[in-house]
Structure 1
Amino acid sequence: MTAKRWIPRKPNRQFVLYFLSFFLVILLPVILLSLSSYKLMYSTILDEIRQGTSNAMKQTGLSADRLLLDVTTLSVQLGLDGKIYTSSTNVEDAYLVNEIRDRISTLAAENGYVQAVQIYFRKNNLILSSDAPNRHYANQVNDGWIRDFSVSGKEQLWLPTRSFVDQDGNTQRIMTLVRKFPVAFPSNTGYVAIHIFEDRFYELLKMAGADRDNRLYLADPSGAVLSAYPRLAGEEDERMAEQAASLIAGEERGNRVGKFGGQEALISIGDPLRNGWTIVSVDSLDYLEERLGYIRRVIMLTGFVLVALGSVISFFLSRTMYNPIKRLFEKAERVQKEFALPASSDKPGSLVDVSGMVDQLIHRHKELEAAYEIGHSAMVDRFLYQLFYNRASGDLEQRVDDMRLPITPQGFVVMIVELDGYAALRERYSASDLNLLRYATHNIVQEIVSSRYVCLGTEIADNQIAVLANIESAAEFDRVRLAEMAGEIIQAVRSYLNLSATIGFGQPVDALADAHMSFQQASDVIRRKLLTDDRKALFHESEEHAQAFQYFYPVQLEKALMNNIRAGNEQQTRACLEQLKAELKGKPGLSHENVYRVYHRLIDEAIDLAVDAGLAWENVFGEGNVYRELAKHETIESIHLWLEEVFLNVIVQLRDHLRSPSKADAAVAYIAEHYREDISVEQIADAVQLNPAYLSRLFKQSTGKTVLEHLTLVRLARSKTLLRETSLNLSEIAQQIGYNNANSFIRFFRKYEGVTPGEFRKLQGQASKPEEE
């Protein structure tokens, strides 16, 4: 067991990924912080060195300028000396020459930086030296300064550093300042030369080169390196001097970091001195690395410790992350096999695959949950429907448990919430809007009722919601509490939906199986809201059920109402309707059907009256279905107002109809125009827009004859005229007065005149052609 535990195993890719991630997250900031700290310290020290070097360069330049100024001042003094000028014009005076030689020897001795002072007299080429015997100029190497100054043509000239061998055989390096004399005069009688030891400049250079790793170079205006400190032996010194000369030849001044002599160094180039010379300072940065070595070692040691610590922490964090994920992978593999899930990616066994598998399971769960919700809601609605209409079978308590309904086994009351004026809402809103209104109403009812009772609700009609409230027991039926709840529902529906609602309550029952009785009572009471005024919460009373079977119809009131409409008596018509409303309200036991039946019959009678009078249906009742309009009104008050408007409109239409030109006269005119045709009473009634029976009564009242009698007389009079005044035969006369054949005309004529048409013509003395009988 132990041996197997320590057998090397191939590392898991996921574990390695976690380890590297944690390792980088922990160590990368440490490494960056260490590097940044080291870089910051390096930059800080380098800046301090730059600042120190700049200050040293300025101090060196000032010191060198002071020395050069002293030398220049000394040369001016010699150039203004009258004795020297006198000697230059009287060179034969040995005494005066020796006095001048003593003078310059004294000056050289008094100024330690002066190697020698020499005077050249042009008149006789004599050279006086403070450190050598007098001699004449013979163009020797050591006297090259005379030649260089003569060629320059300047008042003053600094000559480059040169080497020479003194009397003791030592090689000396000197810098020379040459000036003509007398100073400030146009004449030129000779030259004064002051030779300065280069070593004195070393003393100045040492002031800026106290550090052992610092090197200084002095270059003349041509860029040639005059001296260096400290000096190096051999070719290395020459090579570094050449590099310094190339730096001076450039135009860049100030300091910068770069390579010098193969090493990293801080290079500083100062401004030109009074005589045009330039100082270059080179500070090696190797010693800076040495100074920072301790700090670097501390940082490296700290980094190593942190790397080791980070590795350990990364390992344990990786194990902490990997072990649960490993178990997740194993469980995901089992779930995939158990539910036959397809691979969700092309990388099985990865987090991407597990994520896809979880998505599939969530999707399946949502589908099942949605299907269950839909099915459960439908099951609850079906259960309540069966319960309310007494069609539930089986063990009700078991069904309640199976559907996990929250109700208890006993104590129930059914309430029905009905939206008022739903027929009008159908005309105002679309089907989708009505669905939203019903849904909102259902939510309001469910929320308010469930805040007081355990309840179940369902829609039983487009405008009705039935709620089964669990009141624990019928004995605890609290009518006041239910009325308050109904008022809150009605107020909420009015506030949020701007709708009106009526709520009916049945009697409480103890058993769930008897809920259908409470539902039926709630249905009855909600239907009898027709006879209530403003009562919106209606409770079923036990004595109402017996009275609901009464029947009522006001026959005498109906006759009086129709007579008043025919007579056009608006006031009496209103009075009849008020009386009808009072009688209906006085019989609260009347059923919903009975009340509507009364109004239906009154509308039927009004329709018959209007039709008999020949009124157009659209003018009286509009283009809609009058019975459907009646059904839209849900209370006596609403029906009364609408019916009063309809009946008064019938009266107005009748009055206008009778005031129009006489229908009897119109019928007489129609007969006079169409008596030649085979017309009937129905055709004449249609022509004058009256009912045939009503036209007959109206025609009889107006003319004293029936319509057919008047038609017969018109035809008879016309036939007599034709018999007297024309020679038309009987067949032609018969056709002109509306008869199809002569026989019918003969029988008609004989019936009314007692003779045949032929006999009548003979009696009138007209025999224009033979008569045909």
Structure 2
Amino acid sequence: MHLRSFFSNRLFIKMLMYFSTLLIPVLLIGILFYNYSVSEAKKDFSQNIAKNLEFSKERIDHSVQMAVDASLNLIMEDAFFEPVMRSPEMSTEQKRHFENMIQAIVKSQNISNYFIDNLFVFKDSEWIFRSAGPETFERFFRELYWFEKYPVPFWKTYLARPSAVQYLSPTLIKTSSGSTKTVIPTVTVEHSPKGNIAVVACLSVSAIHETIKSNMIYPETEFILLDPADNIITSSRDDLWNNVTVDRLKSLQATSPSELIPLEWQGQSYLVSTLSSERLEWTYYTITPSYYFRAEANNVLFVTFWTSIALIFLGIGLALVFSVKLYSPINNIREILLQNTGSPDSAEKTPKHQNEFELIQSSLRELLSEKTAYSDKVDELSSEYLDNAFIQLLRGHSLDPIKKFRTLIQDDLKFTTETFLCFSIVFDFNERFFTKILSQERHHVLESIKIIILDALSAQNRVYLLELEPGHFVGISNLDTQHDQRTLMNSLDKLLESFSYESKHYKIYIGVGRIHGGLNNLWLSYSEAQYALESTIDAAHNQVADASTLEIKPHHIYTFQDEEKIMNCLQARDEAGLEGILDGLVRQTETIGSTGFSRQALFHDLHRTAARYAAAHSLDFYTALDQQVWSWTSQSHAMEMASGVNPDKTVLLQMFKSLMALAEPPSDRSVQMIQNVITFIDEHFQEDIHPELIASQAGISVKYLSKLFKAHTNQNLTDYISQKRIFKAKALLSTTNLTIEDIFPMVGLQSRVTFYRLFKKHVGTNPGSYRKSNNQDLEQVQEVDTNE
């Protein structure tokens, strides 16, 4: 269609006029912005300089605080409280103490090594401990690290007096290599019955200088940094500064941090920005030539004017183009929708009265319907569904319908064959893990481990990974050839090697089952993987145990139907029927060639059935069992049963009878359970309690406890524990003079970092600011009471 035909069309003319009206706001905005830009240019100029100066200050404050925190943490190291032999001849134990101290110093210095020029510790006048090793007191201060302002006797005074963190004046130091530099010594002293321990962190003035310089916007901007005594810490050019200039800068007064103060200096016009550090009490000054502002304001005016002109002409052109091309997109959308939602001849079947917009609307409804159907399928394939389905298969149960599940794993997991292999990965966490890793962090640690394992294995293998219990991961691998199995074994070997580097917190065991065909045989491969897993526990070194290399006898068979029969007997209080089922399971296990592993596995399955029954009736599972059942249960979890030892049917029957006798309506039990949990938290929140411990006390799983607690209180269990701790911390901050280091252990937290994070999350500010604000409010109230 030619342009002339468009202009003869009323709809086109209207569209062109509508598009053209958009130019009116553009013109008005351009005029307003033209007049407004001059004042805004100066504001932006001031804010940019102030923000960059603020950024430099914050970075320096933060880095200095990190250095101070490193010193504080270093003082708390146990190694520095051990006695140090004063002769050059050291015993093995003394050398170990030295090594621990040196390692602690290296670790602390690495935290903020950019700002720390040197870090050393001394507790007497004989030894200096530093990252390079121990050195004698006199030689270190006289030859290796000589301070111009602070002679050797000055440092000895810290051995006889307590001191908080002290920032000394900048001083020139000379090293053993003959080089000189300027540093700011910070001294932290810890008093103990065995004597003072002093940590000295020397802050690098050159690092501070480079930090300020790197954040200067304009190359000709000068700066100067003063300490509380008006000593010059560093400056852009030493030849520009003297006492007169410093006094003149100090006389300038700004009404706001972002205000620039005019200054006539050396025959030129400058703008001065000043900022003070409340933490270090340092004062920052920047002096910027004012012609930068004038050039920037002119640039803004120039850009504003020509941008407005360009937008007007561009708007006119675009209005014309959009109006001409409006029908083309509508036509294209119509054709695409017809191709995706109907047959090729659907256009011919479209009613004549239906225009393009009505056609698009009806087609979009069809697409929305398809999207809804697809979303339903995605929801059906949620991880919870897959986890539950695979767990049932691993336990020997059948899925109904199995065909539907097979289709789902083919589409989403790309499991295209009927050949499967199971492997088990167990992390045996030691006491160090539960001491160092707080309860709030353990769930995230396990989630991270699962992600790492899945990423490492799924790169070359088709694997689905699920977590049966904390630290116990089970993988299902879909294999095509023997090559796939070798690839999986290589991946597991590399995974084991990677996790074996960190052995302080756990031991890792990996067992691999044999290859079996069909989903209903997954339980066989999983059972073999568990058997292989047990063979690695007493191994001298970490290894991947392959069931194909082991002699494995037939195992017990505990099916879903067996569990349903037991659950039905429990619901009906049918002790005779329950005893008959247990008789049959024990005889069946012995008939198929029982091993210690098979008998233990049978008891564990029955134990889990009892636990699920207890959870369904909100019973405290472990306290519901008598001493005999509890003793046998504990032993079965602690070690593998010896050959020839069978689970006593009487003990198993008594376990189920104890649970049946205590079963009550779930609603009554669950309410009482949550009340008990809340009481337990209120009484023990000062200790290192965590959801796993509470769930163990309640005799239910962590997942079920969390779900039940959320349903009754509308609050997460971990959040409730944290709120109790922070509530107590707020009271201690408001009513006592205890330090933060004293408070956070009193509320059950082992880390200062965790305490700050939780306090910020629940209160909205840090503990120090909260105490300061609360004290100010209290003083105001007292002042009002005094006036009245």
Same fold (TM over 0.5): no
Q: TM-score, normalised by structure 2?
A: 0.28
Select the structure of larger CA radius of gyration: 1
